Amino acid sequence: DPEKANVERPEMFDFHGVTMVHYFTDNWENVQKFQARPDDILIATYPKAGTTWVSQILDLLYFGETNPERQTTIPIYERVPFMDLLIPGVFSGKDLADNLPTTPRLIKTHFPVQFVPKSFWEQNCKIIYVARNGKDNMVSYYHFDTMNKVQPEAGTWSSYFQRFLQGKLAFGSWYDHVNGWWKKKQTYPNLHYMFYEDLIENTGREIDKLCSFLGLSPSAELKEKVLSGVQFDNMKKNQMANYSTLPVMDFKISPFMRKGKVSDWKNHFTVAQNEAFDEDYKTKIDPTLLFRDEI
Ligand code: A3P
């Protein structure tokens, strides 16, 4: 019962070389033992890269025709449980995932690739990774950390900027995350690596690519339903997709569905920060991984 959530801002610490907070490590042993099924689908992202958007797309693609009540009665965080998260007595993503009644089970993780429970690899599960350009990802994560009590304190924007570059945020370095998953794609064909910017540019095209990866051929009617259901404004007003039912978030500080745009970093970065980011970026990003910070 999320109403019972009595959560406190967590501290960050080093966990197997990755900056983490206890809400995402407290259930570590159980999560590592997660038993995946071959038809499970894992949605993996660095936080704020478009997880909820892609989760809603998949939920509609798989269940929009067969089980439409689901989208109007069950919040997205229960339809697509966040495996890593444990809030004792309130929310265990691993238990929710175990008990999902649907086939396939749609499961969310923010783990860097080396933290994924081995069963997903053994079962050769399909995995969808969504990446977002670092500048916008940082801005979105900053606003999220200001309003979400299970996240560490955001602090000032300028300190946040430094911590992003140093990888000192929950789930560690954005660079390590996007690079690590990109590298995995070279050896694990069942991984579909997609970009938030592409989804913004042409949602229909990206859904087509997803469907071909998943082996789905939705009817024209279902495709229309998905396209309209996942528009930013529709998700923002949809209580079952916008996280408004979770009391750990304070929408008076910042709503979950905040802007949904590419290049909002231009409203936050100083010129000096932009130059510092670009310099640092060149030394850290895998040069074969191409992001767009404007479209
Ligand atoms: P902003 O903070 O830039 O608005 P996640 O789901 O991984 O936490 O990512 C949240 C980010 O995705 C937020 O970015 C949110 O507004 C954006 N988002 C969610 N649904 C969206 C949609 N349908 N279209 C565009 N952006 C969306």
C-alpha angle 244-102-117 in degrees, rounded to nearest 5 = 85
Which residues in 104-121 are b (16+ Cβ under 10 Å) and which e?
bbbbbbbbbbebbbeebe
This model of the complex carries an ipTM of: 1.00
What is the structure's pLDDT at 2? 46
Residue nearest atom 26 in ligand 1 by C-alpha distance: 260
Q: Which has the closest alpha carbon to 258: 228, 238, 233?
A: 233
Average pLDDT in the 207-231 region?
98
Whether the bond between 255 and the residue before it is cis, its omega within 30 degrees of 0, is no
> Percent of the chain having pLDDT more than 70?
98
What is the structure's pLDDT at 154? 97
Sheet holding 191-195, edge to edge: 106-109, 41-45, 126-131, 191-195
Ligand 1: nearest atom to the Cα of 130: 7
More confident residue, 90 or 163: 163
257 C-alpha to center of ligand 1: Å?
6
More confident residue, 188 or 247: 188
pLDDT digits (tens, 9 = 90+) for 33-77: 999 999 999 999 999 999 999 999 999 999 999 999 999 999 999
Residue tagged 């229309």 (tokens): 224
264 lines ligand 1 (CB under 6 A): yes
pLDDT digits (tens, 9 = 90+) for 160-203: 999 999 999 999 999 999 999 999 999 999 999 999 999 999 99
**Residue whose CB lies within 8 A of the most ligand 1 atoms, among 46, 53, 249, for a mutation test:** 53
Q: Report d(CA 270, CA 181) in Å as an integer.
A: 30
pLDDT digits (tens, 9 = 90+) for 113-135: 999 999 999 999 999 999 999 99
What is the structure's pLDDT at 89? 80
Q: Report d(CA 110, CA 28) in Å as an integer.
A: 13
What is the structure's pLDDT at 247? 85
Q: Which has the closest alpha carbon to 135: 230, 236, 275, 20?
A: 275
Ligand 1: nearest atom to the Cα of 241: 20
Per the structure block, which two tokens stand in for 192? 């579909």
In the chain, which residue ranges form alpha helices assigned H by DSSP?
A: 28-32, 51-63, 69-73, 76-79, 93-98, 118-122, 134-147, 157-166, 174-187, 196-201, 203-214, 220-229, 232-237, 271-284
148 lines ligand 1 (CB under 6 A): no
pTM for the whole thing?
0.97
Confidence of residue 4 (pLDDT cuts 50, 70, 90): low
Catalytic machinery residues: 110
Look at residue 94 and tell me whether its pLDDT is greater than 50.
yes
Per the structure block, which two tokens stand in for 266? 């231009």
